[in-house]
Amino acid sequence: MAMYQVNSPGPKLATLDPIWERIRSEAEDIVRREPELASFIYSTVLHHERLEDAVVHRLAERLDHQALSGDLIRQTYSEALRDDPDLADIVPRLLDEANSIAQSCFPEVRRVTRTGPAPDHKPSILQDYELGRAMEIDVLIRAPAAFARAAGLSTPTLDMMAALAIRQAREKGLYRG
């Protein structure tokens, strides 16, 4: 029987994010009880420092496609913060809107806030823009906005980001929608 060692993030994590600490604790229990699930549990939960990172990782894995790789999807969130610190004020508002959209579809969804620096990587949509590739605006921006409209939600930050992204992409010939 294979044995797996679980590396605990320590008491500081519980202070910052008690929900994520509970999820990690339950994941550690699963690894101990069901070692055949260890690889999956490590990749989806225990290898991530924050709930947001784990969610982005899992979504990127599920959305991975030859046209838009999971690695590029994972980069979008943190690169925006790294490359433009002024976005730090926008991101919490955008996350609140995203949370509202998620809760309109799945009421049990709860967003956990975090503190600390953003991870160091560049979003896929920015990479596409810089490299002159077609941008995935419909998938990454317009689809969530459509869910919001269907639920009767107001998303001014998302709408503004969509308009700006579309404008920039059209000026460079990277978006026709």
Q: Is residue 71 domain-shared with residue 21, that is, in the same domain? A: no
The pLDDT of 94-102, averaged and rounded, is 80
Q: What percent of the chain has pLDDT over 70?
A: 67
Measured between alpha carbons, how far is 71 from 69 in angstroms, rounded to an integer? Answer: 5
Highest mean pLDDT: which range of 7-11, 14-18, 114-118, 159-163: 159-163
The parent domain of residue 8 ranges over 1-47
Which pLDDT band holds residue 80 (cuts at 50, 70, 90)? low
Q: Is residue 89 domain-shared with residue 144, that is, in the same domain? A: yes
Higher-confidence residue of 41 and 89: namely 41
Asked if the model's pLDDT at residue 32 lies above 90, the reply is yes
Q: Is residue 78 domain-shared with residue 23, that is, in the same domain? A: no
In a domain, 60, yes or no: no
Burial class (CB in 10 A: 0-12, 13-18, 19+), 91: middle
Reported as a single tens digit per residue, the pLDDT across 47-60 is 888 776 777 777 67
Q: What is the pTM (predicted TM-score) of this model?
A: 0.46
**CB within 8 Å of 28: residues ≥ 6 apart:** 6, 8, 46
The type of residue at 167 is: R
Asked if the model's pLDDT at residue 9 lies above 60, the reply is no
For residue 168, the model assigns a pLDDT of 83
Instruction: Indicate the SS3 state at residue 68.
Output: strand
Q: 51 and 17 in contact (C-beta within 8 Å)?
A: yes
For residue 27, the model assigns a pLDDT of 92
**Domain count of the fold of the chain:** 2
In a domain, 110, yes or no: yes
In a domain, 57, yes or no: no
